[in-house]
């Protein structure tokens, strides 16, 4: 039968559309191109940067057979599918993570544009990815021709502020601190030819805000970041091409005290130096190929301006009457300005910033406005966070608006700020008059929920104050939700605690006179933090800070950057635990290779202290409740644990002799631990929950001792009326240890408690973040000791690791999520849980619910990976996947049956799993 040509054409078109549609749906797509963990980074100094991407596909079992990377010196060349810097050709490899650039040598200031195509399991080549880019920074010290400049003048009346007497001691003598204004620096310059590119490289001793032709450069704050400035200072790079103009131009900078000259912890001001300095180079490329550099040098001009005080603890005072209108625009009259001062008192290494900039990420409206006292207004933003307030106000010239920041309220409705200790945490704005004025600070931040405002000339509205949330802008990578609303609030509290404290360094708290990168807090929380955000770049930077703290003896600081000493078990051990964790989560072999020697020196240091016991002295199980774990035991346990990690890292790096050495040392530590701390009946010294968790989770016991210790741990929990009694050391391993010994039922009970002490207890008291103490505030007794009472202290939020690993069941099986483990634990009080984690290789999702005796579970595994999946079931006949018996499902392999689980391996894709619950699971 013949088909008429018209219908034939239509039929062919229809078939073509179907094929095209099928191709689009099944095609492997290359997404999320990153260089050194960052999207289109500017000014890096890694001469062989690592390139990564993710894959998307609707086909089950899809994987990458090969890839091809093109790297070009311009967008135009890349668009022609030419890699004049690097063309890998077709490389047979499944790897998508951290491919090391191996093309033409990269030089200072060079730009590189790149894209990727891959071949899938059918050997079908994908389309090219969307193009990405990176640029190189100044790679050689000789590339810096700029000079350090600043303004060393002292105003006639510098600001003096009394130190807060937060303990209200009537015998305390008044103390004052002197604060100098922020510095304004500027320079005019002319451009006579067409500009094709302009790159600005800048760093400072202090905080810097750059301006070009009346515009603020970038959206980052607290540049150049926090380091031990005496050793290392980072510079930032910006593309300012579109900000320049033919003819007259101006470049300017505002310098604030920041961490360099401002208050740091209880130590006060001037911890790194007394003179603020700018180092800036603007590299201009003309259309004819010639170049010009505008560098900071003695030709710049300097003045003070409206920022009369800026300090991280004190706050910021801004006098709008002193504004320098047009100071950052060309042809500004700066005859009254002064010459700058040149030179630097320190000579640090200058490197490109490898971390994550601090940025504003969202705004919080005022939820409630009250007037607890006449003309005193309190704005409730509904959430404790880090940031500042945007003030919108009208009034008369000279009116002074005072904003006091606080986390909690007193009984009378005024703000409670005694727990801030000596940190004043207040901003002041002096009006210039003439209409609505808007103020946001430049060089400070606060930890707060409430803003108390005085000095207003008229009654405010809720729009008077808006909360500006800031943190290191690492992408969020996960979601969690379950049937228990309290646990959902707990998850929210953990996230807000992390965002508040992952601010340039992982601080302990964001509000009082501390805000330090405590190493113990960091290492107990880091695995939880990795679930919530992509913190690879953030920790690449901070682990460098941590290594910079290592002293001649070989131990690491109690903080990074360090201020209050070295050593302490569980604190200094961060020097090994944190690099290991980043390696595990992101497959980052470089971080353990680069820091291997420093970690090895630390292990040697521990061994030299008290032999197989390690460091001994330290903080112990900080803030434990009603129990005490011997410091010597904590030291020995952590020494054993970090030594075992060193053995594994040595093996991963191919250092067989070191692996054998550290394995032998671990076995010696383990045997000594058993002899020194474990009694014949399995009782462990201290008889505390933390002691048993350390021994079990760090694998320090024989099999017989493990059985005994597990029973003792359960008994210790029962003795506390099924409540926890751990401190900072015990909190990250309590729930995982219970799951490890087969008692997830107890883990579920502990995490759902709402009576003291528990995570739920603080929520019952109104917490919106994790608190420093389980009872920092109670509705019955009020506030705890002002000496140490933070309402935003993330360490106890380390329970979140268990929520993702054991409630959702998402974990890596080996480094970098190339292989995945999915093993949800079930327990009373939770009938469903759902969420996802965006791993370095793509999204892993888990959504389960209980329907009577049936377990329903939807699982997604990203392309190019596989997962070992543990399904609650007494026998394989009780399991279906996509409505079929397991043996009939493509991409699924039965590995084994355990006592109450079927264990299967699945390829990439989405799966709908259903099983009849075994009788062992209630």
**What confidence tens digit (pLDDT) does each residue in 468-516 have?**
999 999 999 999 999 999 999 999 999 999 999 999 999 999 999 999 9
Strand (E) positions, 75-110? 86-87, 91-92, 99-100
Distances from the Cα of 86 to the Cα of 33, 683, 875, angstroms? 16, 62, 54
Q: CA–CA separation, 571 vs 557, rounded Å? A: 8
Both tokens assigned to 491: 């998850």
Burial of 613-644, coded b for 16+ CB within 10 Å and e otherwise, reads: bbbbebbbbbbbbebebbbbbbbbbbbbbbbb
Q: CA–CA separation, 494 vs 803, rounded Å? A: 11
| pLDDT higher than threshold 60 for residue 15 | no
Exposed / middle / buried, residue 341 (Cβ in 10 Å: 0-12, 13-18, 19+):
middle
Both tokens assigned to 290: 């010639």
pLDDT recorded at residue 21: 37
pLDDT recorded at residue 323: 98
pLDDT recorded at residue 922: 64
| pLDDT higher than threshold 80 for residue 589 | yes
Judge if the upstream peptide bond of residue 224 is cis by omega within 30 degrees of 0.
yes
Q: How many alpha carbons fall within 13 Å on the CB side of residue 684?
A: 33
Q: What sign for the dihedral angle of Cα 648, 649, 655, 661?
A: negative
Active site residues: 514, 772
Place of tokens 């810096």: 144
Q: CA–CA separation, 217 vs 328, rounded Å? A: 11
| pLDDT higher than threshold 80 for residue 382 | yes
Both tokens assigned to 774: 């389980």
Mean per-residue pLDDT of the chain: 95
Query: Using the 8-state DSSP alphabet, how is residue 600 labeled?
Result: H
> What are the phi and psi torsion angles at 262 (to 5°)?
-85, -175
| pLDDT higher than threshold 90 for residue 244 | yes
Q: CA–CA separation, 307 vs 183, rounded Å? A: 8
Distances from the Cα of 846 to the Cα of 742, 836, 901, angstroms? 21, 6, 17
Of all residues in the chain, what percent carry a pLDDT higher than 90? Answer: 92
26/314: higher pLDDT: 314
| pLDDT higher than threshold 90 for residue 862 | yes
Helix (H, G, I), strand (E, B) or coil at 605: helix
- Find the mean pLDDT for residues 548-565: 94
Q: State pLDDT tens for residues 129-160.
A: 999 999 999 999 999 999 999 999 999 888 99
pLDDT recorded at residue 22: 38
pLDDT recorded at residue 616: 77
Q: State pLDDT tens for residues 278-316.
A: 999 999 999 999 999 999 999 999 999 999 999 999 999
Q: State pLDDT tens for residues 794-829.
A: 999 999 999 999 999 999 999 999 999 999 999 999
Q: What sign for the dihedral angle of Cα 487, 488, 489, 492?
A: positive
Residue 860 confidence class, pLDDT cut points 50, 70, 90: very high
Nearest Cα residue to 589 out of 50, 106, 103: 50
Residue 7 confidence class, pLDDT cut points 50, 70, 90: very low
Contacts of 9 (CB under 8 A, 6+ apart): none
Q: State pLDDT tens for residues 47-66.
A: 999 999 999 999 999 999 99
Judge if the upstream peptide bond of residue 757 is cis by omega within 30 degrees of 0.
yes
- Find the mean pLDDT for residues 393-406: 98
Give 819's strand partners: 866
Nearest Cα residue to 863 out of 98, 38, 29, 22: 29
Helix (H, G, I), strand (E, B) or coil at 82: coil
pLDDT recorded at residue 25: 59
pLDDT recorded at residue 620: 95
Do residues 493 and 763 make contact, with C-beta atoms less than 8 angstroms apart?
Answer: yes
- Find the mean pLDDT for residues 4-25: 37
Exposed / middle / buried, residue 676 (Cβ in 10 Å: 0-12, 13-18, 19+):
middle
Q: CA–CA separation, 904 vs 822, rounded Å? A: 10
Query: Using the 8-state DSSP alphabet, how is residue 75 labeled?
Result: H
Q: CA–CA separation, 513 vs 267, rounded Å? A: 9
Q: Which helix (H) or strand (E) holds 703?
A: helix 703-719
Do residues 902 and 915 make contact, with C-beta atoms less than 8 angstroms apart?
Answer: yes
Q: State pLDDT tens for residues 747-801.
A: 999 999 999 999 999 999 999 999 999 999 999 999 998 889 999 999 999 999 9
CA dihedral 164, 168, 172, 178 (to 10 degrees): 10
| pLDDT higher than threshold 60 for residue 99 | yes
- Find the mean pLDDT for residues 42-49: 98
Helix orientation angle between 519-532 and 574-586, rounded to the nearest 10 degrees: 10
Nearest Cα residue to 326 out of 152, 184, 151: 184
Can you give the length of the chain in residues? Answer: 922
pLDDT recorded at residue 24: 56
Contacts of 253 (CB under 8 A, 6+ apart): 183, 184, 185, 186, 202, 204, 208, 209, 210, 211, 278, 280, 296
Residue 8 confidence class, pLDDT cut points 50, 70, 90: very low
Residue 166 confidence class, pLDDT cut points 50, 70, 90: confident
Q: State pLDDT tens for residues 650-681.
A: 999 999 999 999 999 999 999 999 999 999 99
DSSP characters over 490-555: HHHHHHHHHHHHEESEE-S-SSSS----BHHHHHHHHHHHHHHB--HHHHHHHHHHHHHT--TTSP
Both tokens assigned to 178: 């002197």
C-alpha radius of gyration, the chain, whole number: 30
Residue 919 confidence class, pLDDT cut points 50, 70, 90: confident
Q: State pLDDT tens for residues 702-740.
A: 999 999 999 999 999 999 999 999 999 999 999 999 999
């Amino acid at each position: 039968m013949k088909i008429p040509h018209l219908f034939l054409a239509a039929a062919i078109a229809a078939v073509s559309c179907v094929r095209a549609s099928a191709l689009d749906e099944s095609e492997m797509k290359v997404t999320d191109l990153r260089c050194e963990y960052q999207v289109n980074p500017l000014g890096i100094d890694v001469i062989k940067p690592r390139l990564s991407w993710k894959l998307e596909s609707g086909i089950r079992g899809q994987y990458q057979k090969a890839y091809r990377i093109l790297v070009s010196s311009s967008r135009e060349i890349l668009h022609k599918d030419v890699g004049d810097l690097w063309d890998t050709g077709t490389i047979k490899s499944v790897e998508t993570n951290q491919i090391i650039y191996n093309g033409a040598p990269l030089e200072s200031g060079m730009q590189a544009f790149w894209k990727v195509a891959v071949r899938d399991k059918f050997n079908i080549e994908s389309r090219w990815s969307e193009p990405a880019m990176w640029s190189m920074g100044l790679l050689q010290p000789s590339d810096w021709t700029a000079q350090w400049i600043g303004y060393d003048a002292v105003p006639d009346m510098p600001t003096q502020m009394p130190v807060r007497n937060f303990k209200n001691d009537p015998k305390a003598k008044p103390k004052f601190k002197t604060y100098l204004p922020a510095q304004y620096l500027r320079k005019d310059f002319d451009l006579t030819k067409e500009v094709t590119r302009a790159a600005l490289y800048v760093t400072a001793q202090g905080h810097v805000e750059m301006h070009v032709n009346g515009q603020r450069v970038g959206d980052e704050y607290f540049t150049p970041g926090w380091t031990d400035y005496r050793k290392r200072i980072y510079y930032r790079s910006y593309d300012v091409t579109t900000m320049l103009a033919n003819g007259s131009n101006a470049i300017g900078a505002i310098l604030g005290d920041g961490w360099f000259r401002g208050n740091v912890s209880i130590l006060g001001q001037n911890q790194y130096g007394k003179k603020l300095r700018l180092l800036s180079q603007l590299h201009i490329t003309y259309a004819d190929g010639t170049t010009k550099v505008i560098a900071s040098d003695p030709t710049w001009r300097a003045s003070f301006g409206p920022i009369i005080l800026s300090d991280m603890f004190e706050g910021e005072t801004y006098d709008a009457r002193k504004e320098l209108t047009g100071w950052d625009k060309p042809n500004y009259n700066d005859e009254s300005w002064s010459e700058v001062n040149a030179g630097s008192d320190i000579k640090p290494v200058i490197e490109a910033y490898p971390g994550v900039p601090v940025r504003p990420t969202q705004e919080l409206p005022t939820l409630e406005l009250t007037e607890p006292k006449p003309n005193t207004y309190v704005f409730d933003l509904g959430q404790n966070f880090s940031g500042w307030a945007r003030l919108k106000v009208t009034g008369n010239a000279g009116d002074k608006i005072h904003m006091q920041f606080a986390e909690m309220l007193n009984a009378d409705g005024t703000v409670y700020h005694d727990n801030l200790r000596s940190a004043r945490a207040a901003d002041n704005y002096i009006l210039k008059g003439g209409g609505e004025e808007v103020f946001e600070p430049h060089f400070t931040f606060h930890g707060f929920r409430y803003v108390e405002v005085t000095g207003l000339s008229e009654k405010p509205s809720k729009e008077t104050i808006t909360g500006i949330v800031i943190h290191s802008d690492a992408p969020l990578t996960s979601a969690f939700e379950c049937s228990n609303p309290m646990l959902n609030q707990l998850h929210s509290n953990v996230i807000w605690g992390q965002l508040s404290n992952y601010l340039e360094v992982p601080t302990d708290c964001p509000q009082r006179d501390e805000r330090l990168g405590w190493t113990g807090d960091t290492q107990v929380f880091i695995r939880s933090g990795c679930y919530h955000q992509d913190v690879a770049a953030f920790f690449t930077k901070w682990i460098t800070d941590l290594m910079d703290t290592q002293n001649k003896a070989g131990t690491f600081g109690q903080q990074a950057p360090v201020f209050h000493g070295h050593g302490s078990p569980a604190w200094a051990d961060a020097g090994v635990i944190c690099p290991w964790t980043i390696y595990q989560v992101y497959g980052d072999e470089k971080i353990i290779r680069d820091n291997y020697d420093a970690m090895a020196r630390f292990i040697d240091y521990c061994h030299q202290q008290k032999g197989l016991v390690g460091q001994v002295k330290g903080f112990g199980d900080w803030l434990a409740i009603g129990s005490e774990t011997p410091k010597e035991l904590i030291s020995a346990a952590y020494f054993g644990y970090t030594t075992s990690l060193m053995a594994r890292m040595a093996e991963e790096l191919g250092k067989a002799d070191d692996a054998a050495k550290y394995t032998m040392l671990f076995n010696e530590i383990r045997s000594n631990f058993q002899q020194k701390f474990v009694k014949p009946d399995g009782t462990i010294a201290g008889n505390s929950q933390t002691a048993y968790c350390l021994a079990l989770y760090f694998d320090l016991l024989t099999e017989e001792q493990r059985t005994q210790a597990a029973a003792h741990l359960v008994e210790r929990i029962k003795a506390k009326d099924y409540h926890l009694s751990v401190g900072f050391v015990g909190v990250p391993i309590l729930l995982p240890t219970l799951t490890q010994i087969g008692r997830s039922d107890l883990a579920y009970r502990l995490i759902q408690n709402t009576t003291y002490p528990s995570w739920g207890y603080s929520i019952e008291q109104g917490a919106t973040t994790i608190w420093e103490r389980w009872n920092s505030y109670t509705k019955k007794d009020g506030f705890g000791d002002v000496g140490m009472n933070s309402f935003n202290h993330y360490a106890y939020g380390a329970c979140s690791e268990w929520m993702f690993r054991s409630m959702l069941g998402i974990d890596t099986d080996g480094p970098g999520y190339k292989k995945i483990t999915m093993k949800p634990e079930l327990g009373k009080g939770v009938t469903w849980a759902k969420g996802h984690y965006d791993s370095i290789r793509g999204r892993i999702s888990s959504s389960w619910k209980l329907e009577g005796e049936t377990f329903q579970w939807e699982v997604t595994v990203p392309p190019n990976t596989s997962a070992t999946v543990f399904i609650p079931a007494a026998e394989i006949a009780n399991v279906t996947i996509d409505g079929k018996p397991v043996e009939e499902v493509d991409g699924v392999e039965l590995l084994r049956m355990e006592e109450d689980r079927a264990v299967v391996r699945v390829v990439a894709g989405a799966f709908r799993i259903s099983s009849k619950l075994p009788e062992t699971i209630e």
